[in-house]
């Protein structure tokens, strides 16, 4: 069986999140890389490891998919990225939770795969 490359090679761009490379359109994206589509196993593992969720509040969002959240547990800011800008549901001041191991951001009933930025 020949080796299959999961993504077409792209030119590196300084300052971009690794997970962003090769994603042309959020609506057509089928990638399971961090910050793209939430994989079922990623969601399931995050759900059963409740002690790894970190409560936070959104302090900044952008149309480019980046969001900054204030982490209450460690008194620090975390910057995360999602390819479709969190579907427009994140707003400044919104309470969220970030899974420290599996890269999931929870907002209400919604779950997003995130890449650390």
φ, ψ dihedrals at 58, nearest 5°: -75, 125
- Can you name the residues that pair with 58 across neighbouring β-strands? 69
pLDDT, tens digit, for every residue of 49-90?
999 999 999 999 998 999 999 998 888 999 999 988 898 899
Q: Which fold has domain 52-117?
A: OB fold (Dihydrolipoamide Acetyltransferase, E2P) (2.40.50)
Pinpoint the alpha helices (H) of 1-107.
40-48
Mean pLDDT value of segment 1-10: 52
pTM: 0.76
Q: Is 55 helix (H, G, I), strand (E, B) or coil?
A: strand
Q: Tokens 């929870």, residue? A: 106
pLDDT, tens digit, for every residue of 28-43?
677 778 888 888 999 9
Q: Is a pLDDT exceeding 70 seen at residue 19?
A: no
Take residue 62 and report the two structure tokens written for it: 């952008």
């Amino acid at each position: 069986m020949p080796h299959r490359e999961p993504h077409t090679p792209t030119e590196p761009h300084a300052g971009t999140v690794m997970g962003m490379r090769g994603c042309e359109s959020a609506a057509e994206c089928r990638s399971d890389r961090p910050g793209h589509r939430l994989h079922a196993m990623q969601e399931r593992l995050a759900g059963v490891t409740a002690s790894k969720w970190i409560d936070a509040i959104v302090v900044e969002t952008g149309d480019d998919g980046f969001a900054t959240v204030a982490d209450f547990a460690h008194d620090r800011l975390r910057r995360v990225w999602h390819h479709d800008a969190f579907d427009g549901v994140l707003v400044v001041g919104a309470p969220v939770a970030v899974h420290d191991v599996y890269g999931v951001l929870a907002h209400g009933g919604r779950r997003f795969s995130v890449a650390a930025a």
